[in-house]
Amino acid sequence: MTPGLAVIIVGEDPASRIYVRNKIRAAEDVGVISRLFEFPSEAPPESVLGLIDSLNDNPLIHGILVQLPLPPQFNIYSVLHRILPAKDVDGFHLYNVGGLVVGERVFSPCTPYGVMKLLEHEGISVAGQNVVVVGASNIVGKPMALMVMREDATVSVCHAKTRDLAQFTILADILVVAAGVPGLIVQQMVKSGAVVIDVGINRLASGQIVGDVDFESVRQKAAYITPVPGGVGPMTVTMLIANTIQSTEHKADLIDWDAGSISGPMRSLYSHA
Ligand code: GUN
């Protein structure tokens, strides 16, 4: 079965267009069939929901991704929850979010999943470490905190209203920054030998893309640091592809070939029927 990924984008947000193009390109590179669905920014939500219904029913599509943000007429949760959990390769459906808390999910959100893979690849264990996450978004900060907590880290989550951010970041053995503020983290805020993971992607007025960490100063103190661009960003795309392939293999395993349909307790994740 060839993996199939559907990508939906609504509107003209330039950053979203670049992210989507990277995802489609990565899919093609590894032989995942991708289909791009583009809607104008004034599209009625019903048209996107109708497309999601038909993709849910399409056996050739194993992963469905709706690029965020969506225009204001959309209720983002009603869109994300329309995707079957078993095709929710972004890991944003409530089933998958809840599963991250209690351990029964199908998919993990791609960016924090990519961070976990980076740490694993470098042989960095998070158990017993002080992990400080800066940024509490649903896409990165919150799932990141849950993932490292599950692996026995001690976690602090800081955000825009945190008083004296440095008081927290200086204690971090592993510092994950996803605040969307260029240059937020400077050398004095980082412990010597810390692992610094920069999830920020900011475009400066000059056009330069930078992260949330002042890379040149912090690299002199950190044991490990990820660059922007080229650090976490490619991992996000890679985990999307990994989730899509996992979805395809999982579905193949669950199919009752005689009946030609999904069987067993996982059925409701695969079909609304
Ligand atoms: N917008 C910013 N990051 C993401 C992501 O990981 N997935 C989707 N669907 N939209 C995003």
**CA dist., res. 70 & res. 54, Å (int):** 20
> What would the two tokens of residue 77 be?
């949760």
Fold match between 1-88 and 110-232? yes
Which atom of ligand 1 lies closest to the CA of 68? 10
Has residue 188 got a pLDDT over 70? yes
Q: Residue 261 in 3-state DSSP? A: strand
> What would the two tokens of residue 212 be?
């949330």
Q: How far is the CA of 179 from the centre of ligand 1 (A)?
A: 15
Pairing of strands 174-177, 195-198: parallel
Q: How far is the CA of 68 from the centre of ligand 1 (A)?
A: 5
Q: Summarize the confidence of residues 255-267 as an average pLDDT.
A: 52
Identify the pLDDT of residue 251. 78
**CA dist., res. 79 & res. 70, Å (int):** 10
Q: Does 23 qualify as catalytic in the annotation?
A: yes
Any atom of ligand 1 within 6 Å of the Cβ of 110: yes
**CA dist., res. 266 & res. 252, Å (int):** 13
CATH, range 1-88: 3.40.50.10860
Q: Does 88 qualify as catalytic in the annotation?
A: no
Give 154's strand partners: 130
Q: Does 220 qualify as catalytic in the annotation?
A: no
Most distant CA atoms of the chain, gap in Å: 64
Ligand 1 binding pocket mutation candidate from 19, 203, 236 (most atoms within 8 A of CB): 19
Phi, psi of 114 (to 5 degrees): -65, -35
Q: Summarize the confidence of residues 144-165 as an average pLDDT.
A: 97
Question: Could you state, in order of their start, the residue ranges of all structural domains in the chain?
Answer: 1-88, 110-232
Q: Does domain 110-232 have CATH number 3.20.20.140?
A: no
Confidence of residue 258 (pLDDT cuts 50, 70, 90): very low
Whole-prediction pTM:
0.93
Any atom of ligand 1 within 6 Å of the Cβ of 139: yes
Identify the pLDDT of residue 104. 75
Which comes out higher in pLDDT, residue 260 or 149? 149
State whether the Cα torsion 125-129-132-133 is positive or negative.
positive
Q: How far is the CA of 260 from the centre of ligand 1 (A)?
A: 33
